[in-house]
Amino acid sequence: MLMEFTAEQIAGLLNGDVEGNPEVVVNKLSKIEEGEPQSLSFLANLAYEARLYTTDASIVIVNKDLKLNNPIKDTCTLIRVDDAYSSFTKLLEAYDQSKPVKIGIEKQSYIAESTTVGNDIYVGAFAYISDNAVIGNNVKIYPQTFIGDNVEIGDNTIIFSGVKIYHECVIGKNCILHAGAVIGSDGFGFAPNDNNSYDKIPQIGNVIIEDDVEIGPNNCIDRATMGSTIIKRGVKTDNLVHIAHNVVVGENTVLAGQTGISGSSKIGKNCMTGGQVGITGHVTIGDNVKIAGQSGVSKSIKDNQVLQGSPAFSYNDYMRSYASFKNLPSLVNRINELEKLIK
């Protein structure tokens, strides 16, 4: 539940214009299709425009340039802003920051005497922090988390329940690691021997996660064989992402669920992958590359490419090829008929 706010107060926070009753009050948030009285919603995707005219939400945030095609309900007040999506996000951030802040060290947790901890930290029950770790100010470590030897965690970082951070890894400031993430497990390094089995190659590197990174639940980021696996500033990953040893992921790149990146590949900055994208090892992906879901990348890609398919190639070429591919059955039938006529 939110505190109560009027449309006029919300418009003042968002630098928006009220269209309707400025005194109407809301105390909760809702999706526009599930709007109910005293709730605040927003419309950013015009695919949901029809819902605007039927919603029971008391306040809806919309873009200033939105033209109404039908009348809205008398019980609904609009707040017009430059960007409805970013404005609603701003409200969500304010709501999230209004929650009580956890501070203190709960019973049944363990912090090694050699560990250095900052001010205003939170450590949940059954968390284990190993020797010589360095924990910054305002770090939140939730229950059942493991922090290995010599790990460094920067200020204002949140480590949710069940995260495992192996020895020597470095986590930057203002990061979020969601439940179940494993940072710094061994890279997949094995050498075949004369006995048709495999010898394990020691993985002596680490993982470095720079500032402002968010790692999704159940991600696995492997430590480098030598040197570092590096996740650069501003990277965001979805659920179930795997990043192998010695990979470098560039600034502000976004990886959707079940993306897998094989060892020693380099991903540029400002890239995007759809779900279930696979990238083979030892390739370089340029900056500003977009890879559609379920694509497989087996070679290096230059800057500013949009790819789809497995193996992936130009998105426009893929769509043209797909248009031909789905017509193959009828084309085969036509060829068979022509062969019959020729005979």
Catalytic annotation, residues:
245
Residue 234 makes CB contacts below 8 A (sequence gap 6+) with 210, 211, 212, 213, 251, 252
Residue 33 is given by DSSP the state G
Residue 323 makes CB contacts below 8 A (sequence gap 6+) with none
For residues 308 and 278, what is the distance between their CA atoms, to the nearest angstrom? 11
**Phi-psi bin for 139: left (phi > 0), alpha (psi -120 to 50), beta?**
beta
Helices and strands (DSSP H and E) totals, the chain: 5, 40
For residues 173 and 33, what is the distance between their CA atoms, to the nearest angstrom? 37
For residues 180 and 186, what is the distance between their CA atoms, to the nearest angstrom? 16
